[in-house]
Structure 1
Amino acid sequence: MAVLAAVKASQLMVAFLGFAAGVVITKLMGNAAGGMGQRAAARAPSLPEALGLLGDAGGADAAASENPEPVAEDLQAQVTLLSAKLSAAWGAAPFPWDIPNEFLADLSGFKGRDPWLQQGQAELLAKGLCLDIGPKHRPLLDPKHPNARFLDHGTREEIQSKYWPGNSSEDAKMRAMVPFINYVWDPSKSYLDLVGDSRFQLVYASMVVEHVPDLVTFLNDVASILVAGGEFRLAVPDKRYSLDFRRRMSTFADVMGAHYDKCAANPVSAAYDELTLVPPKYEDPKVLWAGYPQDCDPVQYHDAAMQDIRDSLRISNGKLAMKAGLHHWQFIPGSFVDIVARLRELTPFTVAQGSVVETQPNTTEFLITLVKQ
């Protein structure tokens, strides 16, 4: 009996390894074939469904009844056989981040990024406080409204002098657009600590979420300062149509790893990734929407990238001084929605998915609403 149990256990392990190998291989093939996010019609099998394809891994008769080919006795051959079988199942799978129709925003009256983000804002400001995180010189709230609040990484004066220190009329114009900053971000404090007893009907974060080292803590921080039913509206760069187009997609595993590893700063890997894979040109999204920019090969700017790394990554007292404005995360609309769904399944996450505006032609951002429950 002990020998039989051991054989069954080894066969189950082989089945799982075959499943894992098939997933890895076909995911890589699928990503390459998927291009810019084209979707197929079929649905990818779940892990239980995929394992169900194997039948009883401990019984050759059951497996043989499902397949005309015999089950290999040799363990390595069985791994190969199961991997091929699962690869075939996953090879017909769709791009795995389709957004459920219930979340897709009605774009019949869509007039652009800011109007969509600002819809219903007047009513929410009339009900209570609203917050804009990281407004810089493009606040989404009216700075003159008594219920408008702003949070950024520095005071108004610090932001003005950092980005527009010159004497030109253009610099003066930009400085004047920076709102008064009510709350200055402090990495040692939570948002609850920063805002005190204030709670908000609406929170904006435009081009912010990709910079935060710990996405889970950031989203929970925002949820903690929203009233019940309050909205969190985000504008997020789509990696396919931004300078991150060469960088790999951030996964749920990346998100959870950063959270549980207590990631308080961008890792060296992200800095290296950005410095070597983000091209110094093609800032116009129309170039990427028109097709792959063939003349933008990393080899062409390798030497410059290496010098940037030497300049940007300095070791001082055991700490790394990172490139400012580093993008920690790379998303597309569906991958972000998927991460939110998984967070709700596996963590005490208090925001629900709201409407989604997928990236519009010749633009770089998608728009997301999350709702505090």
Structure 2
Amino acid sequence: MTSRQRALDAVQPRGRIGVEIGPLNRPLIRRDDGEILYADHRATADLRTKYATHPDVTGPDAAPLMEIDLVLDGRTLTEALGPRAPVDYIVASHVMEHVADPVGWLGDMAACLREDGVLFLAVPDKRFTFDFRRAPSTTGDLVAHHLSGATTTSPAQIFEHTARTASVDLVAIWAGAGREPPPLFDNQLVSALRDARMVAETGAYFDAHCTVYTPASFLAVFGELIALDLIPFEIAAIEPTEREQLQFYVTLRKRAAASPAERAAATPRLDPRRHHDLPEPPPPPPLDWRERIALAWRVLRTGRSTRGDGAHG
């Protein structure tokens, strides 16, 4: 299934009203699917200028940018929607990882939704992106940034983003290789300290992946946040990262009337045999009868196979 098909299944837009955040020129929900409002941090003309050097967004062969209905630009979604809230659903693809305070952001999303409304998220899986070398964000990370009232990237977040960025080969990682990806650029630690100092001294906005997750770590962190009653959602569904893909999908359902314990109890579980830290390399193909005879003969003669398993006779 494509990201769009998953979003359509999750939010069922026909006859409902929703918001998609950051659609650019590839919205998951289209205007002919149902009543939809597009939100972004800038107006359409400003986005066209910002992405002028990105051919996949503004190039001659690119689909046109969506007309933005709700310009955030320092406003919450609640403020931007005004009397048009509440809505039935919200879609956000590759958005939440850029938010300094995900707990506060999810609170804003919940304020815009009807009870039982859904928030559909597409989230990059750090194991298969340039975040490969970063440690997954913890519940403590998210709680700390929420309690500090973070509104922009913190020095710690920008340091980790710059210092750990790696040049990742997605296909190789899925094949069981590429486990030591090189840095994306030279002098990353020095650059990371410079950027962190700039943020600390000026409070300037610096776009970064503020938090990073795997499907398993997402469930662990947000299950605890729900149990702590920090967000009024339950995790209604999670679709883990598929082979040779780099993102997973989460459907959160607003259930403000339910107790935190009830909402936390609904958290799905993943099979640990399938969702470990990194995929295992595929097994070698089975030998045909000729190869089995040749292998047995080699073991008898040398005491070692040649399939790389180091077996001795």
**What is the TM-score when the length of structure 1 is the normalising length?**
0.62
Task: Give unmatched runs, 5+ long, in structure 2.
Answer: 256-313
- What is the distance in 1 between the residues matched to 2:252 and 2:56? 40
Q: Summarize the Cα distance change of 1:245–1:221 in structure 2 as closer, same or farther, 3 Å threshold.
A: same
Partner of 1:287: 172
Match of 2:222 among 325, 340, 347: 340
Output one character per residue of 1:235-264: Cα deviation in whole Å (capped at 9) or x when no partner: 001111111010011000111011001111
Q: Summarize the Cα distance change of 1:358–1:225 in structure 2 as closer, same or farther, 3 Å threshold.
A: same
- What is the distance in 1 between the residues matched to 2:56 and 2:6? 33
Output one character per residue of 1:303-351: Cα deviation in whole Å (capped at 9) or x when no partner: 26635764x5674994143543x00001111221222221222125321
Task: Give unmatched runs, 5+ long, in structure 1.
Answer: 1-110
Output one character per residue of 1:107-153: Cα deviation in whole Å (capped at 9) or x when no partner: xxxx23221122265x5331x31110111221111135661101111
- What is the distance in 2 between the residues matched to 1:224 and 1:129? 15
**CA-CA distance at 1:210 after TM superposition:** 0.4
What amino acid does structure 2 have at the position aligned with 1:358?
P
Partner of 2:252: 370
Partner of 1:272: 159
Partner of 1:96: none
Partner of 2:308: none
Match of 1:194 among 58, 80, 87: 80
**CA-CA distance at 1:186 after TM superposition:** 3.1
Alpha-carbon contact 1:156-1:181 (below 8 Å) kept: yes
Say how many residue pairs are matched. 254
- What is the distance in 2 between the residues matched to 1:327 and 1:169? 20
1:125 maps to 2:14: yes
Alpha-carbon contact 2:158-2:192 (below 8 Å) kept: no
**What is the TM-score when the length of structure 2 is the normalising length?**
0.73
Largest Rg, 1 or 2: 1
Counterparts of 1:99-248 in structure 2, within 5 Å, are 111-119=1-9, 121=11, 123-126=12-15, 128-144=16-32, 147-164=35-52, 171-174=59-62, 176-187=63-74, 189-198=75-84, 199-248=86-135
Alpha-carbon contact 2:103-2:230 (below 8 Å) kept: no
Output one character per residue of 1:188-214: Cα deviation in whole Å (capped at 9) or x when no partner: x33221101222111101000101000
- What is the distance in 2 between the residues matched to 1:352 and 1:163? 35
- What is the distance in 2 between the residues matched to 1:144 and 1:157? 23
Alpha-carbon contact 1:155-1:181 (below 8 Å) kept: yes
Match of 1:261 among 140, 148, 160: 148
Identity of aligned residues (%): 24
What is the aligned-residue RMSD (CA, Å)? 2.7
Counterparts of 1:294-313 in structure 2, within 5 Å, are 296-298=181-183, 301-303=185-187, 306-307=190-191, 310=194, 312=195
